[in-house]
Structure 1
Amino acid sequence: MYFSVLSPALTPHTYILHALVSGIDRYPRKVTTNMGKKRIAKRSKIKAFVKVYNYNHLMPTRYSVDIPLDKTVVNKDVFRDPALKRKARREAKVKFEESYWRFYKHRFNNKTM
């Protein structure tokens, strides 16, 4: 999840602190070894979202992820134009899919001899 603080809100009349949040809307599905490459690629897709949240609606947790997003693409101006918002969601999707291993449940073979 990407988190950016927007001190002045989107409109000059509001003084409520907002945050630009990017995260996973639809996570990858389960993949098994007997699936083909095409099916694995289809099930490994991630859908991302980009939203502005009020600080009062956010809950801090102990988890953190450092995924650098391009700040020229993902910023508060993306909500003024739908094409820019699609581009920002695509940027977040690509970055989340690059670091897919973080969201993948790892299974290790712990057999002892």
Structure 2
Amino acid sequence: MGKFMKPGKVVLVLAGRYSGHRPYSHALVAGIDRYPRKVTAAMGKKKITKRSKIKYSVDIPLDKTVINKDVFRDPALKRERYKTGKNKWFFQKLRF
């Protein structure tokens, strides 16, 4: 069996030999709040696009003692983080 639990990958192990035995100190929990509704062939394009929207939720535990308010107020700091090129996924929408 190959190595399937690696950093940067999404693996959900609910049962079995490896369940609960990985020493990660943090996790990003993402879920779907609103699922797409049923679509039929008789519906128009506009109605299909409205019914196929997905609302997602992300649970991030923030430690407010570490983050100061100046970081959120100054857009130049966000621009610097964006231009470094690291963590590109942080500045993109979630895709499901």
| Same fold by TM-score greater than 0.5 | no
Q: Which structure has the bigger radius of gyration?
A: 2
Q: Quickly name the TM-score band, shorter chain normalised.
A: 0.3 to 0.5
Q: Could you tell me the TM-score, scaled by structure 2's length? A: 0.42
Q: Could you tell me the TM-score, scaled by structure 1's length? A: 0.36
Normalized per residue, the structure richer in helix is: 1
Identify which of structures 1 and 2 has the higher relative contact order when contacts are C-alpha pairs closer than 8 Å and 6+ apart: 1
